[in-house]
């Protein structure tokens, strides 16, 4: 089973690369951002609570996102593997993911981190915000808050996978196809 953690700051290209990876490797895409936006668009109580935090660039509580991922793993027991996109975003989430996978006799194959500098992240997110209607992409202050949350709470997750010798870092600047090709080389080395 191939289980990939696609990692990086907001706007690094995780969602973009995930779309190409699910086509090539037949993996199931688990994006906590997409799952939360689904809850918001359905107007569920979880979505209403999450929206208040997301619109201000803050992370949603660990137990909420861990619960969503647990449900999705249970609902997709027969899949070939998963791409975790935007999850885990805290060390507590990373620890919980290992426990969830262990109970299914599975493991994370590796993490691939997309490295992109802050100015480029801000440029990409503001550009997306013009069309996406996402309130968290609409203004530079919220984007900077998201990048701050990433540096504060999410960046330490890289250390968690380094300790397990599962960390890979690549340049996230370049064309989408160039970055995809680099990711393919890493994944193919895991499959050998």
Contact 9, 121 (CB under 8 A): yes
Q: What angle do CA 24, 30, 36 make, to 5 degrees?
A: 140
Site string for ligand B4P, 65-104 (x = CB under 6 A): x--------------------xx-x---x-----------
Place of tokens 């647990």: 70
Which is closer to ligand B4P, CB of 10 or CB of 110?
A: 10
Ranges of H-type helices in the chain: 14-25, 32-42, 45-54, 62-75, 91-102, 118-132, 140-149, 156-163, 176-191
134 is in an annotated binding site: yes
Distance between CA 15 and CA 163 in Å, rounded? Answer: 26
The minimum distance between CB 77 and ligand B4P, in angstroms, equals 22
Which is closer to ligand B4P, CB of 58 or CB of 144?
A: 58
The yes-or-no answer on residue 89 being catalytic is yes
Q: Is 16 in the site for ligand B4P (CB under 6 A)?
A: yes
Tokens, residue 153: 């709470």
Which is closer to ligand B4P, CB of 33 or CB of 110?
A: 33
124 is in an annotated binding site: no
Out of 40, 112, 146, 161, point to the residue binding ligand B4P (CB under 6 A): 146
Helix (H), strand (E) counts: the chain: 9, 5
Cis geometry, peptide bond prior to residue 131 (ω within 30 degrees of 0): no
Q: Is 13 in the site for ligand B4P (CB under 6 A)?
A: yes
The minimum distance between CB 109 and ligand B4P, in angstroms, equals 19
Distance between CA 173 and CA 69 in Å, rounded? Answer: 29
86 is in an annotated binding site: yes
The minimum distance between CB 85 and ligand B4P, in angstroms, equals 6
- Could you list the residues that contact ligand B4P (CB under 6 A)? 10-16, 32-33, 36, 53-54, 57-60, 65, 86-87, 89, 93, 124, 128, 136, 146, 176, 179
């Amino acid at each position: 089973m191939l289980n990939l953690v696609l990692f990086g700051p907001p706007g690094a290209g995780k969602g973009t690369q995930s779309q190409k990876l699910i086509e090539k490797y037949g993996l199931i895409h688990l994006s906590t951002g997409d799952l939360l936006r689904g809850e918001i668009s359905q107007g569920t109580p979880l979505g209403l609570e999450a929206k208040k935090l997301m619109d201000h660039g803050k992370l949603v509580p660990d137990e909420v996102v861990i619960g969503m991922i647990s449900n999705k793993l249970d609902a997709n027991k027969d899949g070939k593997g998963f791409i975790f996109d935007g999850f885990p975003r805290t060390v507590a989430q990373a620890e919980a993911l290992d426990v969830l996978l262990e109970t299914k006799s599975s493991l994370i194959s590796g993490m691939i981190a997309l490295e992109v500098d802050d100015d480029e992240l801000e440029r990409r997110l503001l550009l997306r915000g013009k069309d996406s209607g996402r309130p968290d992409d609409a203004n530079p202050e919220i984007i900077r808050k998201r990048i701050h949350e990433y540096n504060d709470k999410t960046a330490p997750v890289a250390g968690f996978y380094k300790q397990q010798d599962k960390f890979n870092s690549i340049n996230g600047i370049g064309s989408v196809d160039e970055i995809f090709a680099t990711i393919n080389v890493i994944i193919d080395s895991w499959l050998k």
